[in-house]
Structure 1
Amino acid sequence: MLSAEHRAIVTATVPILEVGGEALTRHFYPILFRDYPQVKPYFNQAHQADGAQPRALANAVLMYAKNIDRLEALGPLVGQIVAKHVALNILPEHYPMVGASLLQAIREVLGAEVATDAVIDAWAAAYGQLADLLIGAEGQTYAAMKAAPGGWNGLRRFVVAGKRRESDEITTFVFRPEDGGAVLDFQPGQYIGLRAVVDGVDQRRNYSLSAAPNGKTYQISVKRERGGAMSNHLHDAVGEGDVVELLPPSGVFTLAPAGSRPIVFISGGVGITPTLAMLPAALASGREVHFIHAARHGGVHAFRAHVDELASRYPQLRRRYVYAEHAGQQPGHPAPDAVGLLDSERLAAWLPATRDVDAYFLGPQPFMKVVKRSLRELGVPESQMYYEFFGPAAALE
């Protein structure tokens, strides 16, 4: 039970978290993986190495501590965490492991003078409250998924029904259920969890669904990442007829409720994938759609022919492409609309005349940072910007 005294103690630790929260979470993960190695497959080790995961956790812990008396102020953060957990099949039994490791990290990083028994007790109560909140929300989501047509919980076996090369770096995989049943519907923009054993190591990753729902199959499009255990495994070792295990669709990066204002999709690199599932729904609404995509060069620009074909059928779809490099005209790689980086000047020219738009953007962090700042400067309301980002939101400011 989280008492008033507990709340006061947790609130008093906010300044410490603002300064040293990332150091705390960096210390936390080695403890967790050492004491509970069974949870390691749930964490992308590349995000551990580059600091993205510790930063994201530090941000979440800080936001929770700041809003311990008014959890509603956390806004979409809880929903984002729940969606990620559901896509990885996080279960109630995992929470005590995380809690024990977090409390031990607090003791070791802050030291006995700061991390007194009273502080540890307060954080144990606070973590218990947060765990109960997340377990309850995730339990409701799991129940709804299982009850829905084509739904399931946990891992389900799927056969690779198709594999095709989309660019020099991106390959598409189409999955159909091994049991021949229907698949759970999803909202365009969501992702699925995929589990595979790579070199004897259990790995789990989330991948955006790159085609509109059809009730029969799921499609993802995966960029080969340098040093990426799962992406290289999929590109090199998984082919048509092979079996993989999937978790049900999840995620909160979806199209906002229908309206009349123009829709703008802005993507960089493999960030194009969720927009491919969103495009059919956006076009079916009859709204004006602007599609802006940035790639390094034509060789890595995936799905250009697909988007161009949609534009030939839907007059309200306007598309623009910008390549960072001009490697010369290559067969099958038409020239882009511009060469260089996407910036506020190009966005100003390519956005519709009105700034009253719904803007969806996704890509590498530096790209998203520029896009968010540019949209704000150009007058797009913050409440009408939609994006998905792994890490603290402050990193995009």
Structure 2
Amino acid sequence: MMFQWQGTQPVTLRCIDKYRETDDSVSIKLAALDDTQRFDFKPGQFINLGVTIADKREFRAYSISSLPQTNYLQLTVKRVNQGRVSNFIVDKLAIGDEVQALPPTGNFNCIDHPPLPRSSGTKVLLISAGCGITPVFAMAQHWLTQQPEVDIAFVHIARSPLATIYYDQLHTLAAAYQQFQLHLLLKHRGNSNCHQGRLDAAWLQQLVPDLKQRTVYLCGPHQFMQDVQRYLTALAFDMNHFYHESFTPSASTTAEVTPQNAPAAKVSLNVPAFGRQLDVTAGQLLADVLEQAQLPLVIACRSGICGSCKCKVNQGTVHSSSQGPLTPAEIEQGYVLACSSTIETDLDINIG
């Protein structure tokens, strides 16, 4: 039986397994309370996971690394410096604990953006660093089990073998599938048979000489992704065959940026559904204001990616740096992403 999500409302899942991947990361498996139910999603997508810390529910976005049609969702979580949720999951979440989750979502997946066949066949290049390996690992497993004709080159960047998430699983896949070519580029190779160095255009060309014949899927830290896009451009790669994802916020989506035409003055924020009227300062991030007021808005990725913090502006204006998950119809109706919108004038909004 397929698991039924409750619209946009969080559902309860239970942690049924937890194990360490590296010194600073763990994988967890989450199942429905009726653990016979199976989950459907598109490989590469993520869920917004909610945990309760000090009597406050916190949501963050984590990619799914397991395959669809199984009775659990696997997430891999890496410790982040001062990361409130990631550190709680790594250190304190236990088997049997219950968490909250929103439905799988995300445009970065291999179903909505499948690799296109070329004259040399259907080929992909997966590039990742750190915990960015999770969505592309799910894609690789999908192609190996469902579309074995897809030729996969997998380039992953890490510090060392011990710091490489899924190190053993990757080598197992490379040994088992001829169409899976693994290239680990490590800062400290140790005694492994991996490559050592820092990724650049020359390394990409050396590791994957036919990269121009492939569809590229990229995930990792923000600066890493910017660097890889620059390398691909330098190599004259056709960016129409390029897809990427990142949960690392850029400065433009996390800083409080006051548009030049916004007065540095007090304005009002009205949330009529909750009977709240707040005095705020123009230029503040809408998500921060709503969170500080303890209004029930899910703020997960904080990067303008997941869409969980969608609000409707009935009156007033905001300056938005990201509209990625919103449809043209939603934008026309006045929806914005609170995590990517700074307040310009008096506002009247709906949340939820």
Instruction: Identify the TM-score tier after normalising by the shorter chain.
Output: 0.5 to 0.7
2:208 to 351, 354, 373: 351
Measured after TM superposition, the shift of residue 183 of structure 1 is 4.0
| Amino acid of the structure 1 residue aligned with 2:130 | G
Q: Which residue of 2 aligns with 1:43?
A: none
| Amino acid of the structure 1 residue aligned with 2:194 | P
Q: Which residue of 1 aligns with 2:194?
A: 336
The secondary structure found in structure 2 opposite 1:250 is: coil
The secondary structure found in structure 2 opposite 1:214 is: coil
Paired residues in the alignment total 242
Task: Report the Cα distance in structure 1 between the residues aligned to 2:232 and 2:251, rounded to whole angstroms.
Answer: 16
Share of identical aligned residues, percent? Answer: 29
Please state if 1:182 is matched with 2:42: no
Pairing 1:188-199 to 2, within 5 Å after superposition: 188-199=43-54
Measured after TM superposition, the shift of residue 184 of structure 1 is 3.9
Per-residue displacement from partner, 1:28-76 (whole Å, max 9, x unpaired)?
Answer: xxxxxxxxxxxxxxxxxxxxxxxxxxxxxxxxxxxxxxxxxxxxxxxxx
Task: Report the Cα distance in structure 1 between the residues aligned to 2:3 and 2:160, rounded to whole angstroms.
Answer: 42
Tell me if the contact between 1:184 and 1:249 (Cα under 8 Å) persists in the aligned partners: no
- Alpha carbons of structure 1 residues 235 and 159: separation in structure 2 relative to 1, 3 Å: same
Task: Report the Cα distance in structure 2 between the residues aligned to 1:349 and 1:183, rounded to whole angstroms.
Answer: 41
Task: Report the Cα distance in structure 2 between the residues aligned to 1:367 and 1:239, rounded to whole angstroms.
Answer: 32
| Amino acid of the structure 2 residue aligned with 1:230 | V
Q: Which residue of 1 aligns with 2:5?
A: 151
**Greater fraction helix:** 1
Q: Which residue of 1 aligns with 2:68?
A: 213
Q: Which residue of 2 aligns with 1:323?
A: 186
Please state if 1:277 is matched with 2:125: no
The secondary structure found in structure 2 opposite 1:248 is: coil
**Greater fraction strand:** 2
Pairing 1:25-44 to 2, within 5 Å after superposition: none
Task: Report the Cα distance in structure 2 between the residues aligned to 1:335 and 1:238, rounded to whole angstroms.
Answer: 35
Per-residue displacement from partner, 1:240-277 (whole Å, max 9, x unpaired)?
Answer: 11111111111010112353331000001111011111
Tell me if the contact between 1:160 and 1:176 (Cα under 8 Å) persists in the aligned partners: yes
- Alpha carbons of structure 1 residues 354 and 269: separation in structure 2 relative to 1, 3 Å: closer
Task: Report the Cα distance in structure 2 between the residues aligned to 1:204 and 1:394, rounded to whole angstroms.
Answer: 21
**What's the RMSD between the two structures over aligned residues?**
2.1
Per-residue displacement from partner, 1:283-336 (whole Å, max 9, x unpaired)?
Answer: 23211110000001222111011111111121011110111235x44xxxx242
Measured after TM superposition, the shift of residue 392 of structure 1 is 6.5
Tell me if the contact between 1:151 and 1:184 (Cα under 8 Å) persists in the aligned partners: no
2:237 to 375, 380, 388: 380
Please state if 1:259 is matched with 2:125: no
Pairing 1:75-154 to 2, within 5 Å after superposition: 150-153=4-7, 154=9
- Alpha carbons of structure 1 residues 392 and 227: separation in structure 2 relative to 1, 3 Å: closer
Please state if 1:313 is matched with 2:142: no
Measured after TM superposition, the shift of residue 207 of structure 1 is 0.3
* TM value normalised by structure 1: 0.58
Measured after TM superposition, the shift of residue 393 of structure 1 is 11
Measured after TM superposition, the shift of residue 232 of structure 1 is 0.8
Q: Which residue of 2 aligns with 1:109?
A: none
2:165 to 283, 294, 302: 302
- Alpha carbons of structure 1 residues 294 and 354: separation in structure 2 relative to 1, 3 Å: closer
Measured after TM superposition, the shift of residue 182 of structure 1 is 2.1
Please state if 1:163 is matched with 2:18: yes
Task: Report the Cα distance in structure 1 between the residues aligned to 2:57 and 2:3, rounded to whole angstroms.
Answer: 29
Task: Report the Cα distance in structure 1 between the residues aligned to 2:252 and 2:200, rounded to whole angstroms.
Answer: 20
Tell me if the contact between 1:194 and 1:205 (Cα under 8 Å) persists in the aligned partners: yes
* TM value normalised by structure 2: 0.65
Task: Report the Cα distance in structure 2 between the residues aligned to 1:259 and 1:385, rounded to whole angstroms.
Answer: 11
The secondary structure found in structure 2 opposite 1:355 is: helix
The secondary structure found in structure 2 opposite 1:232 is: helix
- Alpha carbons of structure 1 residues 184 and 152: separation in structure 2 relative to 1, 3 Å: farther
